[in-house]
Amino acid sequence: MLPVNRSRSQPRAGRSWPFSGMEFSDSRRKPHFLGKVITAVVLTALCIYILKQSPGFGGTSVFSRHDPGVTHVLVTGGAGYIGSHAALRLLKDSYRVTIVDNLSRGNMGAVKVLQELFPEPGRLQFIYADLGDAKAVNKIFAENAFDAVMHFAAVAYVGESTMEPLRYYHNITANTLTVLEAMAAHGVKTLIYSSTCATYGEPKKMPITEVTPQSPINPYGKAKKMAEDIILDFSKRSDMAVMILRYFNVIGSDPEGRLGEAPRPELREHGRISGACFDAALGVIPGLKVKGTDYPTADGTCIRDYIDVTDLVDAHVKALDKAEPKKVGIYNVGTGQGRSVKQFVEACKQATGAKIKVEYLSRRPGDYAEVYSDPAKINHELNWTARYTDLQESLSIAWRWQRSHPNGYGRS
């Protein structure tokens, strides 16, 4: 059988291809087609490169990596009153910030203000999550490259804690344990913990120093002390840098009027006295109720140390800057001045210019007569000193925000 000769003695007729409404022969089409292919490949490669640099490509983002010279701080409770002010300060100081909040006490309006102020990619992200969900918390830590945690998230009303103690132990103590476990699992080495002077209870001697015995008398203070104990016990066996800040009574708002305090209406009766004063001045409530006039103080009302929120967040930033591995710092954050509730009410009247009706009632459960700080340690070790110490001035700044935001972060 003869072999088949597959060669052709005659060339094949040129095949034509329709392209852009015209026909070209093979000899003319090949260079043009090849150029198109090369261009398409180059453009595709360029698009892939650009996408890879974009947040969210392949499930990753700028927040999931450590960048030289950038400190990424997780702010739990960053939609709340103090947490949002802390996030604002961190962003102003060029930190990268992730806010985690379940909005049970925080306000999405505060987050939107921050997003509008700092819209640049890689500056701020918000994650809606509950710290009581250990699986969700672990996922957040797994997907983000945090350098430090500022842990503000907590329910924080003394009176409410006496009525709902289990809620406070779960929200404060158990949730702090969950955050600490996630930090340990993912190698996050710095914790700035938001604590309270309520852990001291009612000391026999004033002012309160960091070595004053801790004997809390309400579930809020007890839950915070338990959380402190957990942190301190863990830190003994780790190389974590820990700063515990025990606040006194927080007042005020952002001096530039961008943020303020906007508690939910149903929580007003448990809130800070400043909020109640402003509500009375705005006519939201008929008057101010002062609980307790028979305390062993000069005018019979409680004495407290009122710290402006701007000073408070400054203390947090200084604590973050000074935090060192394998070291624990514990500091009182206050002015060192005690002012009575009656003095506070008079300052509020002056700040608002309103005639506020005051009703005096019996004591509130879980309250104590006199609490104010000795801030010498934080003055010396962190070079921090309260600057906004004029009570009426702090209230005037906060009043400007309240007056221009009668519905909080909602529509004015």
Which residues have a catalytic role annotated? 220
d(CA 311, CA 12) in angstroms, rounded, equals: 87
**190-196 and 306-308 as β-strands: parallel, antiparallel, unpaired?**
unpaired
Structure tokens at 232: 């301190």
Contact 401, 278 (CB under 8 A): no
Structure tokens at 298: 């000069």
